[in-house]
């Protein structure tokens, strides 16, 4: 954990009165004992209903049944890092652990996040390599697994600690040059490892016709602000990078290694930060979620559960937040074992669910765009509401015929020359197990990318269909997908068909 996180935890622990903590604890107890009706019973199923994946970081020796049961996405915790698989010339070696993980994910219908290609840490034989060698490695790694990797962390942890908003100054970022001295590395004459690595990755993806999406991943970038309301300069710097290199970057990862400080996780703050990245047209993922359980509060995991709930809610409330990944299964097997940051206790395949697990499951089951849970239980009226007497002369109200199949609505976020469309697919009176949505774009409009859906066509009549994790939608429930395009896309009329 970085020093900033530790500092934040220290300040707020002393600031929060015990009464407030007790209130939060009792609210959590009420919520977790009253899950929503017809709720899903696994994280992956509940997440799928809400239109996102729920993943886990894993190692080949921890591929217990729970991995495929609870999770729909897998990130190799260490087995795809350069110190495992890269040779000094950018070739590949020792890929058996990574292969095992990719195969396991595939046979369990899980997405894979490749982690990671360009990183100052765990660089192994690549440490000190030139951009040309990095490019060789990028090509070899992406091509080895191709579209079996849904998302690659192309660049990891490029920004400095302590909220400076600057790039790191050690290798590989020491190769950067600010040619015109204007304080950034975005100009054509500048050298920027981030840009050059993404350009290379994009070339490889396009040349191979791959569906792999390319992500930038970092920590302490989760909220708009840091403790005390100070602007999160690190998040702002990441935003500038994505805005400048939007043509090469498809997705952003917020690692989300949090502590147990109730003040450090503010749903609205995280949600607004996710939203501004989403407005750039990229997918956002919570990629390495874990949250300390600070037992000094004697809240027996309730504070931690509440914090998990807040992070999940922030993601759920933004349609382009398409996945959450926890950084391991169980506390004892985590890189932060002493901080009890995960959703399960136990080990070696025998795991017990914590309060945090139930909070996450419950929040996922509420779906997207639910308001945050009340902090006090609802008051039961002492006098039951009276039923109005029925007038026998009044005809019964018209009944709406049940709609089977599905319907779709679209909302647009447009700017001069471009747009992002969010399409909500809602099942009728019966559950559906797959869907497709057809819509016709005005002349001159072109779809450039889509998330949470397969797409055929890019202009005129365009067809979208569900991906593996969002085809099943319960009666009356919804899932969302999105796409970005150039031109103008007003007046879209989506037609939904259950498949």
Return d(Cα 346, Cα 329) in angstroms, integer. 9
Of positions 25, 255, 267, 422, contacts ligand G3I by CB under 6 A: 255
Site for ligand G3I, residues 65 to 84, rule: CB under 6 A:
77-78
**Minimum CB distance to ligand G3I smaller for 328 or for 485:** 328
User: What tokens does 443 get?
Assistant: 């002349």
Nearer to ligand G3I, 56 or 427 (CB): 56
**Residue 90: both structure tokens together:** 């950018």
Least distance from C-beta 97 to ligand G3I, angstroms?
Answer: 10
Q: How far apart are CA 165 and CA 232, in angstroms?
A: 8
Q: Exactly one of 288, 306, 339, 363 is catalytic; name it.
A: 288
Residue 113 C-beta: closest distance to ligand G3I, Å: 11
**Using rule CB under 6 A, residue 60 touches ligand G3I:** no
The Cα–Cα gap between 32 and 49 comes to 19
Question: How many residues lie near ligand G3I (CB under 6 A)?
Answer: 7
Q: How far apart are CA 68 and CA 110, in angstroms?
A: 7
Q: Measured between alpha carbons, how far is 499 from 488 in angstroms, rounded to an integer?
A: 29
Binding mask of the shown chain, residues 108 to 147, with x at each position contacting ligand G3I by CB under 6 A: -------------xx-------------------------
Q: Which residue is nearest to ligand G3I (CB)?
A: 335
Quote the radius of gyration of the chain (alpha carbons, Å). Answer: 24
Pairing state between β 230-231 and 225-226: antiparallel
17 DSSP assignment = -
Q: E strands along 11-162, which residues?
A: 53-58, 73-76, 111-119, 151-156
Looking at beta carbons only, is 64 or 335 nearer to ligand G3I? 335
222: contact with ligand G3I by CB under 6 A = no
Residue 40 annotated as catalytic: no
Nearest-angstrom CA–CA distance, 209 and 230: 43
In this structure, are strands 53-58 and 73-76 parallel, antiparallel, or unpaired? parallel
**Residue 75 vs 212, nearer CB to ligand G3I:** 75
As measured in angstroms, the least distance from the Cβ of 258 to ligand G3I is 12
User: Is 157 one of the annotated active-site residues of the chain?
Assistant: yes
Residue closer to ligand G3I, measured from CB, 57 or 427: 57
Say which of 77, 157, 160, 363 is annotated catalytic: 157
204-209: Cβ within 8 A, 24+ apart: 204/138, 204/139, 204/142, 204/143, 205/142, 208/142, 208/143, 208/146
Compare residues 122 and 370 and give the one whose CB is closer to ligand G3I: 122
Task: Report the distance separating Cα 45 and Cα 473, nearest Å.
Answer: 10
Q: How far is the CB of 73 from ligand G3I (least distance, A)?
A: 16
Residue 288 within binding range of ligand G3I, rule CB under 6 A: yes
Of 350, 453, 341, 353, nearest to 408 (Cα)?
453
Provide the 8-state DSSP code for 235. Answer: H
Minimum gap (Å) between residue 320 Cβ and ligand G3I: 22
CB of 263 to ligand G3I, least distance (A): 22
Could you tell me the smallest distance in angstroms from the CB atom of residue 159 to ligand G3I?
13
Cβ distance to ligand G3I smaller for residue 46 or 105 = 105
**Residue 335 touching ligand G3I (CB under 6 A):** yes
Q: How many CB atoms lie within 10 A of CB 69?
A: 13
Residues in touch with ligand G3I (CB under 6 A) = 77-78, 121-122, 255, 288, 335
Catalytic positions, written as ranges: 157, 288
């Amino acid at each position: 954990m970085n020093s900033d996180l530790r500092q934040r935890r220290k300040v707020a622990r002393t600031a929060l009165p015990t009464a407030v903590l007790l209130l939060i604890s009792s609210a959590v107890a009420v919520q977790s004992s009253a899950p929503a009706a017809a709720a899903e019973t696994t994280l992956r199923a509940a997440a799928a209903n809400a239109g996102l994946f729920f993943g886990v970081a894993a190692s080949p020796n921890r591929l217990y049944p729970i991995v495929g049961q609870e999770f729909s996405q897998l990130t190799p915790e260490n087995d795809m890092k350069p110190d495992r698989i890269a040779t000094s010339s950018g070739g590949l070696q020792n890929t058996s652990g990574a292969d095992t993980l990719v195969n396991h994910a595939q046979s369990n219908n899980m997405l894979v996040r490749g982690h990671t290609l360009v990183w100052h840490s765990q660089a192994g034989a690549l440490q000190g390599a030139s951009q040309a060698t990095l490019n060789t490695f990028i090509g070899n790694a992406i091509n080895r697994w191709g579209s079996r990797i849904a998302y690659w962390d192309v660049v990891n942890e490029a920004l400095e600690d302590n909220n400076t908003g600057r790039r790191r100054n050690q290798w590989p970022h020491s190769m950067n040059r600010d040619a015109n001295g204007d304080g950034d590395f975005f100009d054509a004459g500048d050298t920027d490892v981030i840009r050059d690595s993404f350009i290379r990755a994009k070339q490889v993806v396009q040349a191979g016709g791959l569906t792999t999406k390319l992500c930038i991943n970092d920590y302490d970038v989760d909220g708009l602000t840091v403790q005390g309301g100070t602007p999160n300069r690190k998040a702002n710097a990441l935003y500038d990078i994505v805005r400048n290199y939007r043509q090469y970057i498809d997705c952003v990862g917020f690692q989300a290694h949090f502590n147990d400080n109730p003040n450090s996780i503010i749903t609205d703050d995280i949600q607004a930060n996710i939203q501004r990245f989403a407005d750039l047209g990229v997918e956002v993922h919570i990629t390495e979620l874990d949250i300390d359980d600070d037992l000094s509060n004697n809240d027996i995991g309730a504070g931690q559960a509440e914090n998990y709930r807040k992070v999940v809610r922030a993601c759920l409330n933004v349609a382009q937040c398409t996945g959450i990944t926890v950084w391991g299964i169980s506390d004892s097997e985590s890189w932060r074992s002493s901080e009890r940051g995960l959703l399960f206790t136990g080990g070696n395949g025998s795991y017990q669910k914590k309060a945090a697990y139930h909070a996450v499951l419950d929040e996922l089951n509420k779906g997207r765009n639910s308001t945050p849970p009340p902090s006090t239980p609802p008051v039961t009226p002492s006098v039951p509401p009276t039923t109005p007497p029925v007038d026998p002369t009044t005809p019964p109200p018209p009944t709406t015929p049940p709609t089977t199949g599905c319907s779709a609505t679209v909302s647009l976020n447009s700017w001069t020359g471009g747009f992002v469309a969010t399409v909500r697919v809602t099942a009728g009176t019966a559950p559906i197990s797959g869907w497709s949505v057809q819509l016709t774009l005005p002349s001159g409009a072109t779809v450039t990318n889509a998330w949470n859906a397969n797409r055929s066509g890019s202009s005129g009549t365009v067809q979208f269909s569900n991906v593996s994790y969002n085809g099943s939608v319960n009666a009356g429930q919804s899932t969302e997908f999105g796409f970005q395009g150039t031109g103008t896309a007003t007046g879209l009329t989506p037609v939904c068909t259950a498949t």
